Amino acid sequence: MLSKLISAVCSVLWVFSCAVTAAQDQHLTKALKLMSETPLIDGHNDLPWQLRKQFNNELNKVDLNTLNTTHTNIPKIKEGHLGAQFWSAYVPCDTQYKDAVRQTLEQIDVVHRMCQKYPETFMFAASSQDIMTAFKAKKTASLIGVEGGHSIDSSLGTLRNMYHLGVRYLTLTHSCNTPWADNWLVDTGSEPSQHNGLSPFGKQVIAEMNRLGMLIDLAHVTVDVMNQVLDISQAPVIFSHSSAYSVCPHKRNVPNEVLKRVKETRGIVMVNFYNDYVTCKHTANLSDVAAHFDHIKTVAGADIIGFGGDYDGVTRLPEGLEDVSKVPKLVAELLRRGWTDDEVKAALGNNLIRVLKEAEEVRDKMAATRPDDVPIPYDAVQNPCRTSHGYPNAGVAHSLSTLGLLLTLALQALIALAAL
C-alpha cells in the first residue's frame, strides 16, 4: 500500500514538474520571439574595462570567441540575443586631474577596434537609425557611453571631441565629485557636497550635451543633481544602470519622486543587476531583479524602463543572471508576471530608441546654436598638475600657488629634519 502511495505521489510531482517546465518554456519561447522583433538594448557593459585590466587593451592577444574570464563574450552575446550595447568607456576616479582624458580616449579606441576585429558580430553605432540598421543585419549595435564626468577634465572642447568619436552618453559623475557636479556618495554622508548639485559650469555641460545630442546619464549622481538636470535639460535623460530605491534603498538607486519626474520628461531608467543594488545584500536572484521592473512600471509606467545589466563592472550577480547569455530568462519572467508584448518591447529597446531620437531632435532644433566656448573658472580647477594657459589673469595666481606649494614642502622637510 505504501509503495503505491509513494508511486502516486511521484507521478503527481512528475506531472506538476512537466507542467511548470512547459509553462517556463512557453514564456521563454515568447521572449525569444519578441527579442527577434525588437532589439534588446543594454545601457551599460564594462567589457572594455576588463580588456584594460586583464590585457592592457592588447586586443590582438584576446579572442572574444573563447574568452572565459568575463561575463561577456561573443557566444554569450549571441545566446543572450543582445541587439545593442552601450559599451562603457570607464576610467577610475584616481585618474582625475592626471591622465583621465588619455585613458578615456584609449577606452573609446578599444571599442572601435573591437568592432573592427569582429565585424561579423559588432557594428559601430552612433544614432537611433544605426541601432536598427545593425539589428536588421543581425549584428550587435555597439555604442559608447563615457562613465564619469572626470573623463572630460572640465573641458567642453573635450566633450565635443568625444562626441565626434562616437560617444553618445556621458555619466555626469562616477564615485567622485568633479569640479562641477556632486556624486552619489554625497547622499550617503561619506563625502561633502561641493556644489549643492551642479555648479554653473555643470549647467553649461548640460546645455552643451543637449546641443550635441549626447544623452545625459544620471546614474552615480546625487538626488539634487538628478532634479536640477530634470529641471533644465531640453532632452530626456537616462539612468544607464540604476535600480529602484524603494525596492532596495541604496543611494545608487532612483527614488520614487524622481521616477515620476523621469516619466514626465520622457526619460528612461535602465535596471542594474548588481546584487547590492537589487536586494541591498550580497545575494539576489532573477526574481528580485524582476521586482525592480515591476515597481518602476507601477510607479511610472513601462515607458520609462530599460535594461542596464552592468555586466563586467560588478562582482556579484543574481542567480539566474550570471552572464549576458541569461537575459532572455529575465524577459520570460516579465511575461510570466503578466507584462504585455508591447510593455516588454518597450523595455527591451523601444524606450531607449525613443529617448535617443528625442535627443537627436533637440540637437537638430539647436543646429544654429553656437558651441559654448566659455571655460570653467580657473580657480575651480587649479591644481599642481594643471597649467593656466588661456586664463589671462591666472598666471600670477598660478605662480603664487606653485610658490606656496614649494614653501609648504620646504617647511615639511625642515620639520622632519628637526625631528631627527
Give the orientation angle of helix 128-136 with respect to helix 351-365, to 10 degrees: 140
Taking the C-alpha atoms of residue 282 and residue 292, their distance in angstroms, rounded to an integer, is: 17
The alpha carbon dihedral of 21, 26, 27, 31 has a sign of positive
Residue 44 is among the residues annotated as catalytic for this protein: yes
* pLDDT tens-place string over residues 212-268: 999 999 999 999 999 999 999 999 999 999 999 999 999 999 999 999 999 999 999
CB 134 within 8 A of CB 140: yes
Give the pLDDT score at 394.
77
Q: What is the pTM of this model?
A: 0.89
- Which regions in the chain score pLDDT beneath 70? 1-24, 395-420
Taking the C-alpha atoms of residue 365 and residue 211, their distance in angstroms, rounded to an integer, is: 8
CA atoms within 13 A on the CB side of 44: 29
Taking the C-alpha atoms of residue 370 and residue 416, their distance in angstroms, rounded to an integer, is: 55
Q: Which residues pair with 87 in a beta bridge?
A: 45, 144
Catalytic residue among 46, 208, 217, 333: 46
Residue 343 is among the residues annotated as catalytic for this protein: no
C-alpha cell of 176?
A: 567622485
* Alpha helical stretches, state H, 271-367: 275-278, 286-300, 327-336, 341-345, 351-365
* pLDDT tens-place string over residues 267-299: 999 999 999 999 999 999 999 999 999 999 999
Residue 25 is among the residues annotated as catalytic for this protein: no
CB 256 within 8 A of CB 292: no
Give the pLDDT score at 1.
55
Catalytic residue among 81, 150, 195, 220: 220
Three-state SS at 393? coil
Which residue carries 555604442 as its cell? 143
Residue 195 is among the residues annotated as catalytic for this protein: no
Give the pLDDT score at 393.
81
* Alpha helical stretches, state H, 170-321: 185-188, 200-212, 223-232, 256-264, 275-278, 286-300
Residue 241 is among the residues annotated as catalytic for this protein: yes
Taking the C-alpha atoms of residue 305 and residue 307, their distance in angstroms, rounded to an integer, is: 7
Catalytic residue among 310, 323, 333, 358: 310
Taking the C-alpha atoms of residue 288 and residue 341, their distance in angstroms, rounded to an integer, is: 21
Catalytic residue among 44, 71, 250, 292: 44
Taking the C-alpha atoms of residue 137 and residue 164, their distance in angstroms, rounded to an integer, is: 24
Q: Which residues pair with 403 in a beta bridge?
A: none
Residue 389 is among the residues annotated as catalytic for this protein: no
Q: Which of 28, 113, 82, 101 is nearest to 312 (CA)?
A: 82
CB 29 within 8 A of CB 54: no
Residue 46 is among the residues annotated as catalytic for this protein: yes
Distances in whole angstroms, Cα of residue 62 to Cα of each of 91, 117, 229: 20, 10, 40
The alpha carbon dihedral of 42, 44, 49, 54 has a sign of negative
Catalytic residue among 174, 195, 292, 295: 174
Q: Which bin fits 138, alpha (ψ -120 to 50), beta or left (φ > 0)? A: left
Q: Which helix (H) or strand (E) holds 42?
A: strand 40-45
Give the pLDDT score at 9.
45
* pLDDT tens-place string over residues 379-394: 999 999 999 999 988 7
- String of b and e for 286-300 (b: at least 16 CB within 10 Å)? bebbbbbbbbbbebb
